A and B are shown apart, each in its own frame.
Chain A
Amino acid sequence: MIRDKDKIYAEIVSSNTVLVPDDLLKNKYVVSASGFNVKTFNPGPKRIMITNANGDADSFSYNQPDKLIGVDGNGRFELVSQAPSVPPPGRVLILETTSYAHIQLEPFYWYEVEIIGGGGGGGAGVGRWHDGDSAFLKGTAGGAGAYLKTAFKTNVFTTAIFRPGTGGKKGSGTSWIMVGTTPTPTTNIDRYNRGGDGGKMAIQPGMVESPAQANDGADPVYMFNGTLTPLIKTGGAGINSGANGGDSEMELGHVVDEGSVPSDAQGVGGSGGGGNGLYGGDGGKSKYTGNTGVARSASGGGGGAGGGLAYAGDGGGTVPSKPIGYVGAGGGNGVFVSPDDYTLSSGGGGGGASSIFQWGLHFIVCGGGGGGAGAGYGGVNESTPGADGTCSETSYSSANNGGVAGIGVNFNDMMDGDFISPNGGTGGNGIIRLWRCE
């Protein structure tokens, strides 16, 4: 309306003006009413705005504790119970495997998983017969695979992928047979033991195995009747004497197909150190890149033990928080008397790591491969074996599945025709067990 000194000019009120017959409540939703009217929509506390089957504005109450919002058989919203907040006490074993496996998990259940990493290979023993003198040493046992037992729950249908590791291979020593009163070597006559292969983490069938797998332990270098060369601190490939385990990388977004885990390597164990080497290779490590893009350690193989003048490599993996898991036990050190005597036994391989983590919608359960045993070399003196290799840097290694130590070759106890093989034992394969909590 405009008013001047002579007239009042009226304006037209639009026939499309929106009206609100009743006052609108502050901080409430507004919806349409009949005609050109709007009105307050005040469904009450703790509700979600939806449209109903007629397409009208409506709401759905979420005011119940510990529920999920789902849809019923008629396509309507409903509240669904979650998995309980703690695992129920009952256990039903639904899987035990030493090889790759995957199964579908049902929603609203807790599951408990037990992961035992592959054991390291046992180091070989040695015997030494030289100009009528004899000496012997046993090897050291392989390290235990890491042990992890934990529970997890799922509120959706999902897949758990199991990738246990295999045990590290044994160290092989010179076998002897007593012919009359003369010990006679029958294998590895150059007397340098052979280190074992590192174990590997199981991969999905059809996937290409990584070229970064652990190498064999170093082969013998010196000849039996040749001149004894002073110890040389070299051996297999890797930063130490033995080859390090291969690294593994898993990353979201590189999914090949459902259930597969892209990887550059597969959590292999470190190889055994060379017979003349100083250190075993470190265990393999794997890297998991989750949704956040932050790389996290997952699982890797155990460290390979060093041979001869040997120190065991570190166990594979680290101790991450999530994914959770543990490194494998370090392998036993090789045993020696003095650098001048060359009586050297093999170190055991390190145990594989264990871990569990979430990869997208999947649970990945891993055990690293055990490290291969180191090699050793027979010398002329006798000594007491060192660490048995069953120690772990964590207290979780109740899975003592490292390979047994090879015996020493005591020529004084051998009779004509006796045969002694001082080989170590292959580490036990990793095992994964899964229970449903009911």
Chain B
Amino acid sequence: MIRTKSRVYGETNDPNTVESSGTITVNKWLRGGGNKTISGFTPGANHILITTGTGTISSISLVGQFNKLIGTDEDGNIVLIDRGEIDD
């Protein structure tokens, strides 16, 4: 806004302003929504943030997992592994 002795000139919003279609929840992760938009990313409790094989945002849940290690399977996907296994 610019004010002179005779007029007030209004400004346009910056075209790069970030917009969200909904209210953003406090203390949650954000992700891009395309163009100039964002959206919340709330995977739930006890998750690890990762990207998938296509680079998409994702997460791994640790809920209900006990005595595990974080590792990868034969295809390089992230998995939770027992600390030891009995072969039967």
Contacts and interface: CB of A to CB of B under 8 A. Distances in A.
B52 to A, nearest CB: 7
Interface string B19-61: 0000000000111111111100000000011111111110000
Contacts of A42: 55
A18 B24 CA distance: 14
Interface magnitude class on chain A: 35 or more
B81 A82 contact: yes
Contacts of A8: 10
A38 interface: yes
The secondary-structure label for the interface of chain A is: loop
A291 B72 contact: no
Contacts of A79: 72
Contacts of B53: 45-46
Interface in A84-123: 87, 105
Contacts, number: 176
Contacts of A291: 66-67
B77 interface: yes
A30 B38 CA distance: 8
A10 B34 contact: no
Interface residues of B, number: 51
A291 B64 CA distance: 10
Interface stretch (A56-64, A331-339, A387-395): A56-64
Interface string A43-74: 11111110000000001001111111100000
A23 interface: yes
Interface stretch (A295-303, A352-360, A425-433): A352-360
Given A38-B18, A68-B70, A361-B67, A20 B36 contact: yes
B86 A155 contact: no
Given A44-B55, A48-B50, A66-B73, A26 B81 contact: no
Top 7 nearest A-B pairs (CB, nearest first) are A10-B10, A24-B32, A154-B84, A26-B34, A49-B49, A19-B16, A68-B71
Interface of A: 1, 8-13, 17-21, 23-30, 37-38, 40, 42-49, 59, 62-69, 79, 82, 87, 105, 150-156, 158, 291, 321-324, 356-358, 360-361, 363
8 contacts: A8-B10, A10-B8, A28-B55, A29-B31, A45-B53, A59-B51, A65-B74, A358-B84
Interface of B: 1, 8-14, 16-18, 29-38, 48-57, 66-67, 69-78, 81-88
